């Protein structure tokens, strides 16, 4: 079974994003970048499937400018067999990404595509579902457990009221939730080895996908600041303030 | 402008999110129709008919839609979508699962989790875990949008409008339902609760979460948790508040033993009043708290229960 894992280069999750002074976007100059945490979980899951003998090949793919090759090398160091970089400088929406990935799915025909459920920058939570629609495959989103049983993927999903389990005939699309697994760290020897693993570059405009924007970013602002609060000395004072000042309890 | 709203329901009962999505929908369109798709959902359809602003309720009651699987639901919505300028759904796990599939089938870019409607094409939405608010304008002929329910007030009531039954049987071969494991709780649902008390890593273990019960009982509150508490196995994941869990905006949010990481704040910083109880005076949660108490939660919780 071939597994395709799309990954995204994003701001490091510990960094607090700053809005540019001209309100045009978030300022990413000199900000630490990393692999999106949900994508790390997707890579880990694919590698575990390989270690368990159900996957034979794990291909990592990333779409964006040259810098995202750094995250592809990380995926290779973690255990992916091969990487594909779809190179573009265009600002992409989830639909564009899904369309480019659909072209790759057509070429590579993986039985399973594992993506993160959302990127922590755009917070869209769309690409996996869109890829499911475009490739006419079933989708197991927000997965906290994935079991391959022959030609079927059994996916336990984190839903609002608890957990839901669905069964998807392969080929299928799965998106990862945080609790699917605990990603491993790349070891130095594996980082060295990853430098010799194949990384193919494909120019996005050779894939025949229209990347023209369909959503215009009008402006980006800081969220409304909360007024500084007060510290109270005792539970009694807290309850009094909640009753008489904030009036949220009676 | 006409809007199709996808109703949110569970076990045949309408969820409160729907009335909030309708109130976002009436800001863009004069005609708001609501699709109720599921199995044995006539009761939910009747409830939708009484939400102020709803024009017509479209009811599709068929076993194919019992578990609201994305594959069959998306195909159904695409069949009904023609003629609507907007399609709105709640940014719940159900809406997030289905709507992007609809958008791709219609070849449209989707706008996720709006918190404000500027005009029929322009919306505000948080990005980067709520650390920035983007104003985005859809250039699409048909706008596909999910709505952060906590950012909108529920629409009021009206004399019930007509419920139109449609027949549709989308047998879906791409996925099938196996089972569900629901978290049992007598407390109000997190996303709709007026008061929430949440525990974090500081609770130390799952048993200690019972200490929150007494306070929650007195306040009629729902109980939430930080990711640290969920990952440590103290409580189930559907109690998680944050960027990757539930987004809440209650009147009162009490954070107990929660440091206040970016990802947690993303889920609760729009609460009206925030109370933080933490023994670390440097905890970032105090920067967003209206009332902070530096103390050991194991002393405070019994005292608080007594005082209420």
Flag whether pLDDT at A227 surpasses 80: no
Flag whether pLDDT at B192 surpasses 90: no
Distance CA(B55)–CA(B28), nearest Å, equals 14
Flag whether pLDDT at B85 surpasses 90: yes
Flag whether pLDDT at B60 surpasses 90: yes
Global pTM reads: 0.94
Flag whether pLDDT at A249 surpasses 90: no
pLDDT mean over A149-176: 96
Structure-token pair, residue A100: 């480019």
What is the CB neighbour count within 10 angstroms for residue B119?
10
| Partner-chain contact B219 A249, CB within 8 Å | yes
pLDDT mean over B74-91: 97
- Measured between CB atoms, does B262 come within 8 Å of chain A? yes
| Partner-chain contact B127 A134, CB within 8 Å | no
Structure-token pair, residue B193: 């609760």
pLDDT mean over B46-56: 97
Angstroms from A172 CA to nearest CA on chain B: 8
pLDDT mean over B285-305: 95
Structure-token pair, residue B91: 């940014």
Q: What is the pLDDT of residues B118-128, one digit of tens each?
A: 999 999 999 99
pLDDT at B237: 87
Flag whether pLDDT at B111 surpasses 90: yes
Q: What is the pLDDT of residues B261-285, one digit of tens each?
A: 989 999 999 999 999 999 999 999 9
| Partner-chain contact B137 A216, CB within 8 Å | yes
Structure-token pair, residue A17: 């994003």
DSSP state of B103: H
DSSP A195-216: TTS-EEEEEGGGS------SEE
Query: Which residue do the tokens 């060295």 mark?
Result: A192
pLDDT at B244: 85
Reported ipTM: the value is: 0.95
Which three-class secondary structure state does DSSP give residue A158? strand
pLDDT at A245: 87
pLDDT at B36: 98
Of the candidates B109, B128, B304, which has its C-beta nearest A93's C-beta? B109
Flag whether pLDDT at A250 surpasses 80: no
Tell me how far apart the terminal alpha carbons of chain B are, to the nearest angstrom.
Answer: 49
Distance CA(B74)–CA(B12), nearest Å, equals 19
pLDDT mean over B3-17: 95
- Greatest distance between any 2 Cα atoms in chain B: 60
Q: Which of A176, A248, A250 to mutate to test the interface with B (most CBs of B within 10 A)?
A: A248
A23: pLDDT confidence band, cut at 50, 70 and 90?
very high
Judge whether B135 and B122 are in contact, CB under 8 Å: yes
Distance CA(B154)–CA(B22), nearest Å, equals 8
Angle between helices A127-135 and B93-105 (to 10 degrees): 50
E strand or H helix at A11, and its extent? strand A9-11
pLDDT mean over B64-85: 96
Residues 48-107 of B with CB under 8 A from A: 67, 69-71, 74, 92-94, 96-105, 107
pLDDT at A161: 83
């Amino acid at each position: 079974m071939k597994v395709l894992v799309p990954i995204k280069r994003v701001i490091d999750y510990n960094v607090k994003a700053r809005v540019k002074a001209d309100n045009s976007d978030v300022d990413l100059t000199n900000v630490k970048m990393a692999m999106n945490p949900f994508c790390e979980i997707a890579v880990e899951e694919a590698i575990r499937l390989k270690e368990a003998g159900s996957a034979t090949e794990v291909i990592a793919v990333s779409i964006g400018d040259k810098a995202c090759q750094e995250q592809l090398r990380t995926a290779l160091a973690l255990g992916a067999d091969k990487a594909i970089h779809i190179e573009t400088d265009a600002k992409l929406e989830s639909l564009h990404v899904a369309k480019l990935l659909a072209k790759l799915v057509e070429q590579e025909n993986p039985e399973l595509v594992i993506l993160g459920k959302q990127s922590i920058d755009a917070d869209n939570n769309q690409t996996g579902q869109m890829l499911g629609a475009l490739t006419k495959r079933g989708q197991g989103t927000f997965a906290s457990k994935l079991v391959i049983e022959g030609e079927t993927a059994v996916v336990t999903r984190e839903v609002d009221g608890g957990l839901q389990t669905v069964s998807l005939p392969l080929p299928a699309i799965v998106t990862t939730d945080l609790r699917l697994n605990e990603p491993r760290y790349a070891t130095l020897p594996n980082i060295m080895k990853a430098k010799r693993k194949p990384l193919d570059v494909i120019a996005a405009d050779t894939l025949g996908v229209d990347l023209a924007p369909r959503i215009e970013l009008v402006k980006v602002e800081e969220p409304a600041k909360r007024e500084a609060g007060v510290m109270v000395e005792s539970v009694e004072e807290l309850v009094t303030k909640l009753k008489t000042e904030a009036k949220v309890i009676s | 402008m006409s809007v199709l709203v996808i109703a949110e329901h569970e076990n045949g009962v309408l969820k409160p999110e729907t009335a909030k999505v309708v109130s976002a929908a009436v800001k863009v369109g004069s005609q708001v129709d609501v699709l109720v798709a599921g199995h044995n959902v006539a009761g939910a359809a009747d409830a939708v008919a009484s939400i102020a602003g709803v024009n017509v309720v479209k009811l599709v009651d068929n076993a194919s839609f019992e578990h609201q699987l994305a594959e069959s639901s998306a195909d159904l919505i695409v069949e009904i979508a023609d003629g609507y300028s907007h399609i709105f759904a709640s940014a719940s796990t159900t809406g997030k699962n289905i709507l992007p599939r609809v958008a791709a089938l219609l070849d449209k870019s989707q706008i996720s989790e709006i918190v404000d409607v500027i005009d029929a094409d322009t919306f505000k939405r948080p990005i980067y875990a709520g650390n920035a608010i983007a104003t985005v304008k859809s250039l699409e002929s048909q706008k596909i949008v999910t709505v952060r329910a906590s950012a909108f007030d529920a629409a009021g009531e009206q004399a019930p409008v007509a419920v139109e039954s449609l027949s549709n049987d989308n047998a879906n071969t791409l996925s099938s339902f196996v089972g569900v494991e629901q978290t049992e709780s007598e407390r109000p649902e997190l996303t709709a609760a007026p008061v929430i008390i949440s525990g974090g890593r500081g609770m130390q273990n799952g048993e200690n979460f019972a200490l929150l019960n007494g306070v929650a009982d007195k306040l009629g509150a729902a109980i939430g948790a930080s990711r640290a508490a969920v990952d440590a196995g103290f409580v189930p994941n559907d109690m998680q508040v944050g960027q990757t869990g539930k987004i809440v905006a209650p009147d009162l949010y009490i954070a107990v033993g929660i440091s206040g990481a970016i990802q947690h704040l993303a889920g609760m910083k729009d609460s009206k009043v925030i109370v933080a109880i933490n023994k670390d005076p440097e905890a970032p949660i105090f920067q967003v708290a209206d009332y902070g108490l530096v103390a050991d939660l194991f002393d405070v919780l019994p005292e608080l229960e007594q005082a209420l």
